[in-house]
Amino acid sequence: MADDVAAVWHLMNRAALGPAPGELAAVAAMGSRAYLMGQLDPTSIPEDADLERRLNRLRTTRLDATAAYRHTGGIPLLPITQTIGYVRLAVLARQLMMEAQHARLMRAVESRRQLLEVMVDFWFNHFNVSASKDFTMIWIGSYEHEAIRPHALGRFRDLLGATARHPAMLGYLDNWYNTDPQSPGAQGDFTGYNENYARELMELHTLGVDGGYTQQDVQELTRILTGWGINTLALITKVGDLFQFDESRHDFGAKTFLGVPFPQGGGADEVERALDILARHPATARHIALRLARYFVADQPPEDLVTALAQVFMETDGDIRAVLAALFDHAAFWERSPPRLRTPYQWLIGLCRTMGLRVDNHRPLLGVLAQQGMPLHDAPQPNGYSLERSFWFKPAAVLARLDVVSWFAANGNPLSRREGRVQRSELVQEYLHEPGVLSERTKIVIAAQSDDMLRICALLGGPEWMMT
């Protein structure tokens, strides 16, 4: 059943990163429901063969965390204060990051599995690690493809567990240092408790800051997480997996976490148990529901939507796909007004998709994102970037975006030596003839222009591409 184009435009800008050339009409013909069913099951969508071929050429993006570390030649990570400059200079570490970023941007712009790309953006930001902290850049790629991407539409508990075991997270939030000071393994840089990960695990990743935990819970979770970290011997010998639970640094005493007794003598099983408790906690369901509703719908989403999503989260044991299906079934998702500003990432990827650009050189995109205050994989703090669009609504940002539009309009495809983009005149015609996308004012401004370059500026510089 064919759908109203205006509704499809709305859908493609919220559940995807904007329509590719011709896609608006194609999805309208197929129907929104069929499109979403496909997107919720990304393996059912055949990926573009040329895109797969080019992704395969980025060979370091297939390395897991341990192999990625070895690829750098085993940069000495200890003691940490002496290695920061070293890592910055390390060409191979930078190559890992650059290839990971190229793969991310190529997929975001060119992949047909758009909802998956949207959720990778959402979950990476939710479980943020920052490339510029210490040696995190080595693991940006493996973190995204081992911990985030496989579970982005899966179960929350699996996603949480995968991030909790990844060296990127263990390094970024310092848990690899977290040690019972009385334990036999306490020595050198590993001599005491470190609360950093325990706190953010509750505040940001699961319960939310108002989720009802206390400082006592932070301390108890810190004790539970002692010894949960990176295998420092493997860092030196380059043999064995990097993730390790080090019993010799674990606090085996009895604990009480969120009111639940943890009897004396528990080891790594305590961490799994704590993650189970957190992943299934009603406060977590509510926190994730609120964040999804904020990401997809509104800065202050309607309460009935948040409640409904939290309920599905609880009933399905955190099945992300089921929660998203409920979101897409809710009337609030389809509400078109008031329009929301796109984040710099959504806006830039959306522009590239509209023009059908082939991303052979991703570096200009990294530059634009950094200049717009949203550098890729490098949100400065553990809470990632704000989900509230009002945060991004700054007057100068509007001018900065128009600079970029002008630059795209004046060049063929600045991201590739091959043409790899749709003809300007065809693009303008496509949108002029789709009812319900362009405002009357935008149409008038397009009509007033004397050439295709300026017509593209009027189209892509318009509020329809700034907001969604």
Partner 1 sequence: MLTRRALIKSLAAAGCCSLAQLGLGGFVAQAATSGRRLVVVLLRGAIDGLSVVVPHGDPKYYAIRAAIALQPPGEAGGVLDLDGHFGLHPALEPLLPFWQGGELAFVLNAGSMDETRSHFDAQQYMESATPGVKSTVDGWMNRLLAALSGTDPSRAISFDEPLPAILSGSMPVVDMPLGENWLEPDAAQSDPFKAVYDMLYGGSDPLSLAYQQAALARAELLAQLAVHADELARAGGSGVAAFQQQARLIGTVLAESPQNTLAFMSFTGWDTHVNQGNGQGSLANLLGGLGAGLGDLAAGLGNAWASTVVVVMSEFGRTARENGNHGTDHGHGNAMWLLGGPVAGGRFHGEWLGLDEASLHEGRDLPVTTDFRAVLATVLADHLGLQGAALAQVFPGFAGALPGIVHGG
Q: Which residues bind partner 1 (CB under 8 A)?
A: 79-81, 174, 177-179, 181, 186, 189-196, 199, 203, 209, 215, 218, 363-364, 366-368, 370-373, 380-383, 390-400, 402-407, 409-410, 441-442, 445, 448-449, 454, 457-458, 461-463, 466-467
Tokens in use for 417?
Answer: 């030596």
How far apart are CB 311 and partner 1 at their closest, in Å? 24
CB 374 within 8 A of CB 385: yes
Which one, 106 or 466, has the nearer CB to partner 1? Answer: 466
Tokens in use for 426?
Answer: 């065809």
Q: Half-sphere exposure of 352 toward its Cβ, with a 13 Å CA cutoff?
A: 28
How far apart are CB 159 and partner 1 at their closest, in Å? 21
How far apart are CB 214 and partner 1 at their closest, in Å? 10
Which one, 31 or 364, has the nearer CB to partner 1? Answer: 364
How far apart are CB 59 and partner 1 at their closest, in Å? 26
Q: Which of 148, 107, 118 is nearest to 39 (CA)?
A: 118
Burial of 224 (0-12, 13-18, 19+ CB in 10 A): buried
CB 277 within 8 A of CB 260: yes
How far apart are CB 380 and partner 1 at their closest, in Å? 6
How far apart are CB 397 and partner 1 at their closest, in Å? 7
CA distance 145 to 147: 6
CA distance 316 to 77: 41
Which one, 114 or 442, has the nearer CB to partner 1? Answer: 442
CA distance 192 to 171: 16
CB 167 within 8 A of CB 147: no
Which one, 110 or 203, has the nearer CB to partner 1? Answer: 203
How far apart are CB 401 and partner 1 at their closest, in Å? 8
The residue type found at 305 is L
Which one, 162 or 369, has the nearer CB to partner 1? Answer: 369
How far apart are CB 433 and partner 1 at their closest, in Å? 20
Which one, 35 or 177, has the nearer CB to partner 1? Answer: 177
CB 119 within 8 A of CB 153: yes
Which one, 29 or 370, has the nearer CB to partner 1? Answer: 370
Which one, 167 or 382, has the nearer CB to partner 1? Answer: 382
Which helix (H) or strand (E) element contains residue 230? strand 228-230
The residue type found at 12 is M
Q: Where do runs of H (alpha helix) occur along 184-337?
A: 196-200, 215-224, 232-237, 268-279, 282-296, 303-315, 320-329, 331-334
